[in-house]
Amino acid sequence: MGKEEPFQSELLAEDILFFPGHANTVALKLEQKAIIIDVGRNIHEARKIRNTVETNFKTTVDTVILTHFHSDHTHSLPLYSDCEIIASRLVEKFLIGAKRKNLKVPKAAFEREYIVEDGSFKVTVKQTGGHTPDSCYVFSPKHKLLMAGDNLRTDFLWGGRQSNPEEWISALQEYITFDVDYIIPGHGKIMTKEEVSAIAQYTIELQDFIRQLLKEGTKENEIVARVNTEKPPRKTPVYIHESTLIKWYKFWKKF
């Protein structure tokens, strides 16, 4: 755990609150419901977030959506024990397996996709995989907002143990089809569609380059050097983390 970041909140619209932190949190006001997406790792900060949301939206938070299991996004879950927790079956399985104290497991665990409906609002939660097999996005057409979890970060692409580059690339391609004004990554600043397109393009070029290296019989210990010296062109400061590059290489090596 790093040091605590100063608490920040941004009212993006009257029904959208953004909390940039170690990992980002977003709150949406629907017709009646107030939703929090990802709850962060620090319970003191999470308490401030919940208070700010309830003061601004003049209602209690009743729904929590989790983009994936990693503790920097879920550790403060005990603060929301009175809420409906929406997460994929995989997130549920990982949460149960983690045996954390005071943890409430999701009430609404879903297989691939879940829709939160409230009046004219329809918020889609979809498991795409990518960063991790349980990675989901949350898309609210009415708020024109996409929360992408850790499939998007503003620093680098970083995949967990079972990350899947093909699912990741499809998810990025799906993001750019959405009509959105706000694209929230798991970590870092709000992104534009152009930035996400540039990341998607970079990942596709990486994929082609890694496959080409495999065809040439490149050894695993040379891959990082080759990508560093002959890196695919990128119009984005986001780059692939070395550990993830090796994971992607191993992924395509299997075929």
Contacting residues toward Zn ion, per CB under 5 A = 23, 70, 72, 150, 186
**CA distance linking residue 255 with residue 220, whole number of Å:** 15
CB of 124 to Zn ion, least distance (A): 21
CB of 158 to Zn ion, least distance (A): 8
Q: Which is nearer to Zn ion, 33 or 247 (CB)?
A: 247
Q: Which is nearer to Zn ion, 134 or 150 (CB)?
A: 150
| Residue carrying structure tokens 């929230």 | 184
CB of 245 to Zn ion, least distance (A): 18
**CA distance linking residue 197 with residue 7, whole number of Å:** 30
Which tokens in the block code for residue 9? 């909140």
| Residue carrying structure tokens 């983690």 | 98
**CA distance linking residue 12 with residue 17, whole number of Å:** 6
Q: Which is nearer to Zn ion, 159 or 165 (CB)?
A: 159
CB of 244 to Zn ion, least distance (A): 13
CB of 38 to Zn ion, least distance (A): 9
Q: Which is nearer to Zn ion, 22 or 126 (CB)?
A: 22
How many C-beta atoms surround the C-beta of residue 216 within 10 A?
Answer: 9
Beta-bridge partners for 228: none
Q: Which is nearer to Zn ion, 72 or 167 (CB)?
A: 72
Q: Is the CB of residue 51 less than 8 Å from the CB of residue 79?
A: no
